[in-house]
Structure 1
């Protein structure tokens, strides 16, 4: 408190005393006792009011004790139960919770991980994947500025995500792995990896790559076999030794029948082999009669073209061909969709031929686009361009209804480059992405689709979307989301199928360790997406004939259902709309593959390296008392006392207001009691 404020307070007290004496001491008509009482009450009232006017500020200091954090990461995947460690984990969690000394020293928080990382100590040991890398990265982010030694309870076998050994290199706190399972090496043959295309074309061959691994010390011989039903379609002898413990097979299989073709790959087990589950893998290939052929016409060389090809061909059903305008004129009828990248006057014959053939087209404009030509070459859209550069971003239109679109966070992606000017569309259309400039939505669309007389077209006004694909990868560690977005747009534009009020999107087959999702869109009679409808999906197991009904949940501009609870098998489904005679049916197959059953023991070597790299130490599940003793004895993990100094103005002190009310009320009551009012 400053000297000036103290002087004001002294002056206020003098004024309050003077006024109280003047009012009740000078020629007072009350008795001496009442004069004293009224004088004191009036002094308190006046002095309190003057203090509020002066509003002095007081400094207060509070002390808090901050205990070091102790995050406990628990592997909740099925491999823990396969290794017989689930009861040991539950006993360990109970021991950590009941240890008073450990809880007094540390602020303990529990997290579980499998396919996803979450704050929880409720364990089921049923998750179908293990992502240790995500768990470590998340905890490192949560406690990045805190002292937080981390207990990692896992078998070390990861099936999803980046290599957690490299993720731990940025960890700022020591990691103490508790190893579930033993490190004994059993004799074991297994199919380490099987790679094949999801789709193949009729009368062609599709490639298969198989990586076989062996754990053991003696020389062994076996045989690798692929069967389809009761027929053997491939067979190969394989040999292994302690040094040559892996083998890669590359071969082709014929695609002779249209539809879903299911196969079983097996490496014949050894006589003394303990785990035979990892000797077998089921896989499937959908054989289709013809591919969707996409033609990209461009005379430029641009990174966007590479990103387009990568995204489109991520689905093996589609092929991409690049041609210059003069080369493309006589080939247009061979393709289901033509993409025109930044057209100029050299595209004149291409536009004329597209009009004659009534061919679907997707126009992508940018800084090199000749809008004077483009405005005259077609009548769907116009732009009065000044040829000045403008940076724009996109924002998903949640009312877009031509097909299901998921928001990838478009407004967070890097800006695209376009020519300054307003884009107007002159035909019935739907805007998928609104154009935004510095966060403000403009009048121009960034991406719009239109359907006129059975012909589908789209306009994308912006170049540089290869950065969007890279940005999507940085956000999700995968190109899948962006490629799926481009794939959905291409699928819509490449099709001439008449629009239905109920559109369903599903796969022919799924692996049960991956998401099993079916989505649908329902439109009213005016073909406007109806977000108030109630959609249900009825799923029937073809073998057991068990029928299950699931509600479909609304997500942005489509409905979706997650069917991961279903066991492997063949299913038929019907999606229906409540109170409407609208429905659609289909079939899908769930292939059985439990990647968590592929492991015989813990990866103790990798967990040891993780511990050493972060300054920690690994422990077996039977030695957890040693870890607890070390954490209690380690002086690097101490309580931190924090002092917090606050400056509080007197006007925030509510008790002073209460005091003023009480003194005024007291004076009134005494006057009333003595008949002075």
Structure 2
């Protein structure tokens, strides 16, 4: 408290005392006890009021003790059970959780991980994939404090994701791996990787690349065999030594019929091989008759064009050609879809042919577009010309109906450069993305589609979409999300199939280690998405004739069901609407493959390196008591006492108001009681 404030308080006390004495003592011949009592009460009242006017401030010091954090991340993948470490894992988790000394020293938090990191609930060891890197990436967002210890209970076998050995550049806390699994080296021969295209073309041969690895000390001779059903379609001898322990085999197979062709690659097991599950791998190829050809028409280069080509050709069913506005005229019937980039008067002949041939188009309107030409050419929309541009972000319309669109975090994408000015349509249209300026939705379309005169058309009112593809990769470490979005748009525009009230989206085959998701859309008689309908899917196993029925759950603008629990087999299915006699059928296959069963040992080398890089120490599961003792004795993980100093003004002290109220009330009561009022 400042000296000046103390001086004011002293003066206030003197004034309050003088006033109290003046009111009850001055002028009385004999000072009674009652007068002294009244003077004291009046002094308390006046002094309290003066204190409120001065409002001095006091320091309040609060001490708190903060314990360090102990994070326990537990591998919940099926490889733990495959390596027969499930019971050991449950025991060590209980031992750590119930240790009284650890609980007294640390705030313990438990998580499980497989494909994703989730708070600990239970351990079933059923996860089909392991992503250790992603688990630590998520933990780094929560535990940025360096006073944190992390116990990783895992076999160290990661099936996908970034290399977790170098996650310490992001995750700064020490990591203490508890290693699960057998560390004894066993003789093993396996198909390490099988590379094959998803699609092939009828009457062609498609390439296959098989990478076979050998783990052993002596020479080994085997053979790789590719079978289709009971027929062998390829066979090749492979020989290994201790040092020459990897072979890459390249060959081609014929595509003789349209549809899904199933194959099985097998490396013949050698003597005393412990794990023969990893000697075989199933794969499939969908044979198609021809490609969908798309032309990108532009009279000048732009990064958007390359990004669109990459996205479209990520699906091998499609090919893209670059042409200018003159070259396309004589080749227009060779393509199922034209993507017209920023047209101007040079495109007049092209648009005349497009209207005459009734071709589907996708128009990109950017800063170099001649809006006068576009407005004259189009009968369906008109954009106000202001000769100004603006940067607009994208906002997904969740009610878009023509096809299923997943939100790929459009709002995180950079803004597109667009012409400023309202757009008016003369026909019904569907908005895919709206323009958004900052946090304000403009309700103006950024990307739309519509159908007129039995042809389909889409318009993007902005340029620099190449930045979206780059941002999508930054967000997800993959181009797949953005490429799938562009692929669905192109698939819709390249087709002239009439509308169906029930549309089902699914793959011809699914790998055994991926999620089996089937999506559907249902429309009413006016082709408006109907959220009131109940859809069910009946799935029949073609091998066992077993049938199961699942409900489809409404999610945003589609219905979907997760069939990942189904075992590998060939399935036929029928999606039915409950309230109307409408259904859609199809078939798909789930290929038999469990990537978590491909391992024989724990990845000791990588877990040791992870511990060393982070400043921690690795332990085998039998040495978990040593880890507990290390954590308890490590002075790095000491509790921290923190002080918090608050400046509190006296006016916030409610008890002073109570004192004033009591003193006034008691003075009034005593005066009344003694007949002085």
Q: Structure 2 length normalisation: TM-score?
A: 0.94
- What is residue 86 of structure 2 aligned with on the other side? 86
Alignment pair present for 1:371 and 2:381: no
Q: Partners in 2 of 1:560 and 1:36 — Cα distance?
A: 86
Q: Partners in 2 of 1:36 and 1:530 — Cα distance?
A: 86
> Judging changes above 3 Å, is the alpha-carbon distance between structure 1 residues 656 and 345 closer, same or farther for their aligned structure 2 residues?
same
> Judging changes above 3 Å, is the alpha-carbon distance between structure 1 residues 642 and 241 closer, same or farther for their aligned structure 2 residues?
same
Q: Partners in 2 of 1:612 and 1:456 — Cα distance?
A: 59
Q: Structure 1 length normalisation: TM-score?
A: 0.94
On the 8 A contact 2:533/2:579 being kept in 1, the answer is no
- What is residue 172 of structure 1 aligned with on the other side? 172
- What is residue 448 of structure 1 aligned with on the other side? 448
On the 8 A contact 1:16/1:43 being kept in 2, the answer is yes
On the 8 A contact 1:351/1:378 being kept in 2, the answer is no
SS in 2 for 1:325: coil
> Judging changes above 3 Å, is the alpha-carbon distance between structure 1 residues 37 and 209 closer, same or farther for their aligned structure 2 residues?
farther
- How far the C-alpha of 1:19 sits from its partner, in A, is 5.2
- What is residue 487 of structure 1 aligned with on the other side? 487
Q: Partners in 1 of 2:184 and 2:168 — Cα distance?
A: 25
- How far the C-alpha of 1:213 sits from its partner, in A, is 0.8
Alignment pair present for 1:195 and 2:195: yes
Alignment pair present for 1:516 and 2:516: yes
Q: Partners in 2 of 1:442 and 1:584 — Cα distance?
A: 38
Q: Partners in 1 of 2:287 and 2:35 — Cα distance?
A: 106
Q: Partners in 2 of 1:671 and 1:263 — Cα distance?
A: 106
1:122-271 correspondence to structure 2 within 5 Å: 122-271=122-271
On the 8 A contact 1:291/1:319 being kept in 2, the answer is yes
Q: Unpaired runs of 5+ in structure 1?
A: none
Q: Partners in 1 of 2:556 and 2:190 — Cα distance?
A: 43
* Cα shift readout 1:565-604 (whole Å, capped 9, x = no counterpart): 2222222333334434433333222222110000000111
On the 8 A contact 1:391/1:415 being kept in 2, the answer is yes
> Judging changes above 3 Å, is the alpha-carbon distance between structure 1 residues 24 and 123 closer, same or farther for their aligned structure 2 residues?
farther
On the 8 A contact 1:190/1:279 being kept in 2, the answer is yes
SS in 1 for 2:304: helix
Q: Partners in 2 of 1:257 and 1:538 — Cα distance?
A: 28
On the 8 A contact 2:60/2:647 being kept in 1, the answer is yes
Q: Partners in 1 of 2:580 and 2:673 — Cα distance?
A: 79
- What is residue 354 of structure 1 aligned with on the other side? 354
Q: Partners in 2 of 1:562 and 1:21 — Cα distance?
A: 87
- What is residue 322 of structure 2 aligned with on the other side? 322
Q: Partners in 2 of 1:667 and 1:250 — Cα distance?
A: 104
Q: Partners in 2 of 1:169 and 1:377 — Cα distance?
A: 56
Q: Partners in 2 of 1:568 and 1:49 — Cα distance?
A: 83
- What is residue 654 of structure 1 aligned with on the other side? 654
SS in 2 for 1:643: strand
- What is residue 380 of structure 2 aligned with on the other side? 380
Q: Partners in 2 of 1:565 and 1:669 — Cα distance?
A: 81
Alignment pair present for 1:108 and 2:103: no
SS in 2 for 1:373: helix
> Judging changes above 3 Å, is the alpha-carbon distance between structure 1 residues 54 and 289 closer, same or farther for their aligned structure 2 residues?
same
* Cα shift readout 1:297-342 (whole Å, capped 9, x = no counterpart): 1222222112111111222222222222211112222222111112
Q: Unpaired runs of 5+ in structure 2?
A: none
Q: Partners in 2 of 1:593 and 1:232 — Cα distance?
A: 20
* Cα shift readout 1:156-185 (whole Å, capped 9, x = no counterpart): 110011111122344322222211112221
- What is residue 474 of structure 2 aligned with on the other side? 474
- The range that moved more, 506-515 or 242-251, is 506-515
Q: Partners in 1 of 2:675 and 2:453 — Cα distance?
A: 97
> Judging changes above 3 Å, is the alpha-carbon distance between structure 1 residues 646 and 548 closer, same or farther for their aligned structure 2 residues?
farther
On the 8 A contact 2:157/2:603 being kept in 1, the answer is yes
On the 8 A contact 1:367/1:387 being kept in 2, the answer is no
- The range that moved more, 74-83 or 505-514, is 505-514
User: How many residues are matched?
Assistant: 677
- What is residue 583 of structure 1 aligned with on the other side? 583
- The range that moved more, 570-579 or 644-653, is 570-579
